[in-house]
Chain A
Amino acid sequence: MKRQKSYSYMDISKGSNVLFNVILIVLSILAVIPFIFVVIISLSDEASIVSKGYSFVPESWSSHAYEYIFKNGADILNSYGISVIVTVVGVLIGLALIATYAYVISRQTYPYRKFFTLVALIPMLFGGGLVGNYLVVARLLNLKNSIWALILPLAMSPFYVFVLKSFYRTSIPDAIIESAKIDGASELRTFVSIVLPISKAGLATIGLFLTLGYWNDWYNAMLYIDEQSLIPIQYMLIRIENNINFLAQLGSQQGIVSEVTRNLPSETVRMAIVVLTVAPIACVYPFFQKYFVGGLTLGAVKE
């Protein structure tokens, strides 16, 4: 179905457009300023921060923070590699699990819908806590020091399931599925060839959230991984951050630990850590974005 470029009354007025732009520009500035600040501080000289505080134009620049990180995390590239593998595999598995499960509970005619909804709802509220999770992942499934301990526990989340379910409800008319059924397509076939293609925006959203979840996760690595070669980047860097905090506290109480606390650069390294973890994921962002913002362009211009 082809249409003209656009109907003028399908768009908002010029005035509203200007107003919207102004509001969004203000919000955008509020949002990115701190991040620009982060980059600047990570490149500042530690001494000038101690004496002058944060500044947009530091007295002197320095790459010391990055040098410190690369020196202390010898395997930083290896860790990036682990993170990439975990994220890619995790997002694929997670999407497969969530997309299927959410589809099933979105089907109004499915008689066991309530049961499956309940199954997903209870974990939303109740969790086993540190001990319960450790017991299952490390001991029952024996995933300690396995890359699967980083992948599997995060693959699903009730929140994603319910959000995707409600995407399905808005974007997939029941009629389409019924007609597929009449054509004799199997459930799996209907799901794969009809439902998924029209749910790209929803899948991209969940994919983005999963990607962020995997990329930012350090907790599972902290609990389940002792093997240094399996440590993802986020945990490696968080550890530097945690150590700075912990040792500072300990050091102020007990003189003896001072021998280990010495020369921990703090502010600049913390900021460099943020840059090093956010930069790669920020680069992936547009890939997902094209599905939910790109989709808008499509909608307004042509079908």
Chain B
Amino acid sequence: MWTRFKKNFGLTAIALPGLIWFILFSYLPLIGIVIAFKDYKISGGFFESLLSSKWVGFDNFKFMFATNDARIMVRNTLLYNMLFIVINIVVPLFIAIMISELLNKRGAKAYQTMIFFPYFLSWVVISYFVWAFLSPDKGLVNRLLVAMGADGISWYSEKKYWPFLLTFFNTWKNLGYNIVIYLAAIVGIDKTYYEAASLDGASKWQQIKHITLPQLRSLVAVLFLLAIGKVFNSDFGLFYQVPRNSGALFPVTQTVDTYVYRTFRVIGDIGMSSAAAALQSIVGLVFILVANYIIRKIDRESALF
């Protein structure tokens, strides 16, 4: 055992700074999770307070299961995430391949830069634009509809459009970021593969199918697993700011994060918000374990652990 340790000391030492960082900035703060299981009262310093506070088990978690609405929020969170995960893996992958195969490399650069831009805009700013297009009276879309003789649509109270709209905005905003990940991986693929294939007379399509995609397989698996760990979290700005907090849309916009936020604004209970975060982590953990297990079965190499 000791010899094994000594033999691998070189590598261990390289990972050491990172390990220390994780301990300090990720593991020590985990003590905060305990609050989720306590009726947290202040009596002196933090540890004193934590020790003297009563354990309440899962009491703080109950508010997330209290009603039918809670079911809706769970359903929305999970379904949107599933959809987003698939789209955010597949669409950028194809566009990244397109960019990488373009004949005009200058164009590739320009497109890639422009597509990245939405990532710079916050959801608040995006919500203003959405409003500029969809507002009931001054909105561009409705003015167009009316000009064509159709009736305007009150976008912010018709919930049927929003699953589509939200998915579109989410894809649009994150596209550039995800493309970068794939591009970097495509650049990293060993060029000799392509040369060999070319010499064998493989067409570009065949090369993409037999070299590029398989080479990206493990990256896709990793991105999928990392995303699935966040399956119970949601992008607050997307679901709260973009639909302008419109009540009529709640059945399709309420997610765990918006529900907790609205609750916190009224009760201000740190135990409840800690519990919500803890629940998100636990659900993520379960999903990631299952997903990893499945991937291991299919392709051992690509699994995360």
Contact A289 B112 (CB under 8 A): yes
Is the C-beta of A197 less than 8 angstroms from some C-beta in chain B? Answer: no
Contact A163 B181 (CB under 8 A): yes
Given contacts A32-B114, A201-B184, contact A9 B305 (CB under 8 A): no
Residues on A with beta carbons closer than 8 Å to the beta carbon of B183: 201, 205, 292-293, 296
8 Å CB contact of A111 from B8, B113, B190: B8
CB 8 Å contact bits of A214-249 with B (1 = contact, 0 = none): 000000000000000000000000000100000000
Given contacts A31-B117, A103-B14, A110-B11, contact A202 B102 (CB under 8 A): no
Residues on B with beta carbons closer than 8 Å to the beta carbon of A3: 195
- The distance in angstroms between the C-alpha atoms of A14 and B191, with both chains bound, is 22
Is the C-beta of A74 less than 8 angstroms from some C-beta in chain B? Answer: no
Is the C-beta of B63 less than 8 angstroms from some C-beta in chain A? Answer: no
Contact B32 A128 (CB under 8 A): yes
Residues on B with beta carbons closer than 8 Å to the beta carbon of A35: 117-118, 120-121
Residues on B with beta carbons closer than 8 Å to the beta carbon of A187: 10-11, 13-14
Contact B190 A101 (CB under 8 A): no
Interface size on B, residues (CB 8 A): 100
Which of these binds chain B: A76-84, A112-120, A250-258? A112-120
Is the C-beta of A184 less than 8 angstroms from some C-beta in chain B? Answer: no
Interface size on A, residues (CB 8 A): 114
A147 CB, min distance to chain B CBs, angstroms: 16
- The distance in angstroms between the C-alpha atoms of A54 and B124, with both chains bound, is 16
Contact A201 B115 (CB under 8 A): no
Give chain B interface residues in 99-144, CB to chain A under 8 Å. Answer: 99-105, 107-122, 124-126, 128-129, 132, 135, 138
Residues on A with beta carbons closer than 8 Å to the beta carbon of B117: 31-32, 34-35, 282
Minimum CB distance partner of A238 in chain B:
B122
Contact A135 B46 (CB under 8 A): yes
- The distance in angstroms between the C-alpha atoms of A248 and B267, with both chains bound, is 22
Contact A116 B31 (CB under 8 A): no
Contact B132 A53 (CB under 8 A): yes
Residues on B with beta carbons closer than 8 Å to the beta carbon of A285: 113, 116
- The distance in angstroms between the C-alpha atoms of A104 and B138, with both chains bound, is 57
* Chain B residues at the A interface, C-beta cutoff of 8 Å: 4, 8, 10-15, 17-19, 21-22, 24-33, 35, 46, 95, 98-105, 107-122, 124-126, 128-129, 132, 135, 138, 172, 175-177, 180-181, 183-191, 194-195, 198, 201-204, 207, 215-216, 218-219, 222-223, 226, 229, 270, 273-274, 277-278, 281, 284-285, 288, 304-305
The 10 tightest CB contacts between A and B, nearest first, are A132-B32, A128-B29, A101-B18, A187-B10, A171-B188, A123-B26, A132-B29, A295-B187, A128-B32, A28-B114
* Chain A residues at the B interface, C-beta cutoff of 8 Å: 3, 7, 9-14, 16-17, 20-21, 23-25, 27-32, 34-35, 37-38, 53-54, 96-98, 100-101, 103-105, 107, 110-112, 114, 116-133, 135-137, 139-141, 152-153, 155-156, 158-159, 161-163, 165-167, 169-171, 173, 186-188, 191, 198-199, 201-202, 204-205, 208-209, 212, 241, 267, 270-271, 274, 278, 281-282, 285-286, 289, 291-297, 299-300, 303
